[in-house]
A = this chain, B = another copy of it.
Amino acid sequence: MDDIVIHYLEKPQLEDPVFVQGLPGIGNVGKLAAEHLKDEMKGVKFAEIYSKFFPPQVLVLDDGQVRLVQNEMYYVKRGKGKDLVVLVGDYQGLTPDGQYELADFVLKELHKLGVRRLFTLGGYGMGRMVTKPRVLGAATDKALVKEMEGHGVVFARGEPGAGIVGASGLLLGLGKVYDMKAVCLMGETSGYFVDPKSAQAVLEVLTKVLDITIDFAELETRAKQIDQITSKLREVEAVPEGPGKEDLGYIG
């Protein structure tokens, strides 16, 4: 079989679309953010990606049917230069070479779809509890850095110190080869829990950049649930909240 297979449910005609990706990673920040975006924007699924670089696994749906683990692409029609393509999924590639192959594959498909601008979303592990997550950035050129700074994205020298590992970084790194202008937005997160609050911080920036208005109620509800759990844990286990930041490096 092919290493990676894409199955188009529909071939959408999009005008100069912007691409947004969020996959599982630290705090699941990117995945939560991208899924919330496509849900709120009523994205239409148009492609499924299977790969032997994913785990050999099917998921069992509530009705007893199975589906292979996959990545999925959704589109949102908003008009020329504002159309969206959103990629979410169950897994990132399992191996380093799988990560490269998947990133390259996605970039080739995006090129065909006319995408020239990318946003990858992820978490930035702080190793300590984070009350007000900042959104850190990295980009493929200086003009983008400036533009993002105007939207409150933090570009801090030496952060992230270990670079960006995984699909969020590779799409930028390999995107340069395809002449894609790309930004990675990373929400600060402890790295200990799934973090809807960090996902919201990332989305607040992204929606400002893309001139989108969405509701955050669902993320806020989930953040409250997580807060209740972690505050209980903190009573019991005294999770550190002070400085003592360690760079966990992985971003996803």
Contact = CB atoms under 8 A, between A and B. Distances in A.
Interface of A: 1, 3, 50, 52-60, 62-69, 93-94, 96-97, 99-101, 103-104, 137-142, 145, 155, 157-160, 163-167, 169-170, 172-174, 176, 184
B58 A163 contact: yes
Contacts of A139: 64-66
Contacts of A66: 138-140, 163-164, 169, 172-173, 184
A62 B164 contact: no
Contact of A57 (B53, B63, B165, B184): B165
Number of copies: 4
Contacts of A64: 137-139, 142, 145, 155
A96 B138 contact: no
Given A66-B184, A141-B65, A58 B169 contact: yes
A93 B56 CA distance: 10
A62 B173 contact: no
Contacts of A138: 58, 60, 64-66
A68 to B, nearest CB: 4
B163 A52 contact: no
Contacts of A141: 65
Contacts of A69: 163, 173
Contacts of A184: 66
Nearest to A102: B56
Contacts of A65: 138-142, 145
B157 A62 contact: yes
Nearest to A175: B66
Contacts of A169: 56-58, 66
A55 B137 CA distance: 21
Contacts of A173: 50, 57-58, 66-69
Nearest to A158: B62
A151 to B, nearest CB: 13
Contacts of A1: 100-101, 104, 174
